[in-house]
Amino acid sequence: MTPRIADVLFVAAALDYLVATVLFVRFLLSKTPSEKHEHFAARLVGVGAMFHLSHILTASLVWRVCPVAGVHFPMSVATMLMAAGYTVFRKRWRLDVLGAFVAPLALTAHLALRFTGQGPLDPTPRFRSAMLPVHVAMNVLGIALFSLAFAAAALFLVQERLLKQKKTMGLFRRLPPLDALDRAEHRFLLAGFPLLTLGIVTGTLFVRRVDAVTAADVARTGFGYATWLLAAGVLFLRASAGWRGRRAAYGTIAGFGFALLVLALYTFREPAKDPPKPHAVADDRALVAPVAGNANAEKGPS
């Protein structure tokens, strides 16, 4: 029964995000944009986030995996939190159209939970640690806020370019005010930075405990530091030298790019070398198998 509920919630969240994406694209490209569609799409993202959260909770119970353990759930959790954050702040900061980034990003990560990834559902003994959930949780929250900062920065650049080119009809009129985008980008980054910092600190301590460190681990750590440095740089230069607008937006987007590289390396990393205990494999298969369409369900933890 529970796997079926998880499936239903998965489909409901995906459909919500999909419809919201279509409505946002239509709003941005249509000759006669309807603000009603935009508001409806924005609300759909909130509903999608609720289904998404319910799916994560249900599926984690089915798989008996902590949502902030392996890589699949954390990615999904991060985008769910991003959608939830958007829902909370969109009205107050007049950022409805930010959903044009949030909805497809959430949809992609949500679908990725089912269709991509070869890594383990549960960390292998090499990585088992009480610090791991803290490390992942901080990073997940940080990434969620960083994603929103990225979306605001991207829209800022579009809006700023249109203003500089003096193209003040069409798309220009559908985007939020330039200052609102700049402020939102700064606030999301400011809120996400302490979490990213904690993620980096716990990650550094955690890596020091692991004996065998692979090249991918090193690259991932390097990109993680680059992400943190860029976020820190954008915030510091804004406070000290008045770097705002375009420069801050480029910095934020570059930082988010490194964060994506970290996630990509994490997602497509080599399967862990630790051989799982035979009884654990059997147990995991029994738990995962009922969830249709899950690649890991067929293979079991590697």
| Residues lying near other proteins in the complex (CB under 8 A) | 31-32, 34, 94, 159, 163-164, 166, 168-169, 172-173, 176-180, 182, 238, 241-247
Q: How far is the CB of 80 from other proteins (least distance, A)?
A: 29
Q: How far is the CB of 42 from other proteins (least distance, A)?
A: 17
**Please, which residue, 182 or 284, has the CB nearer to other proteins?**
182
**Please, which residue, 71 or 181, has the CB nearer to other proteins?**
181
* Other CB atoms within 10 Å distance of the CB of residue 205: 12
Tokens of 106: 């959430």
As a whole number of angstroms, the distance between CA 111 and CA 79 comes to: 11
Q: How far is the CB of 162 from other proteins (least distance, A)?
A: 9
**Please, which residue, 93 or 266, has the CB nearer to other proteins?**
93
As a whole number of angstroms, the distance between CA 33 and CA 3 comes to: 40
Kindly give, in sequence order, each residue whose CB lies less than 8 Å from that of residue 207, ignoring residues fewer than 6 positions away: 213, 217, 221
Q: How far is the CB of 247 from other proteins (least distance, A)?
A: 7
The closest of 80, 65, 85, 89 to 9, measured between CA atoms, is 80
SS3 breakdown of the chain: % helix, strand, coil, rounded to 5? 75, 0, 25
Q: How far is the CB of 150 from other proteins (least distance, A)?
A: 20
**Please, which residue, 72 or 238, has the CB nearer to other proteins?**
238
**Please, which residue, 171 or 207, has the CB nearer to other proteins?**
171
Q: Residue 166: what residue type?
A: K
C-alpha torsion sign, points 13, 19, 20, 21? positive
**Please, which residue, 180 or 288, has the CB nearer to other proteins?**
180
Three-class DSSP labels, 170-194: CHHHHCCCHHHHHHHHHHHHHHHHH
Q: How far is the CB of 165 from other proteins (least distance, A)?
A: 10
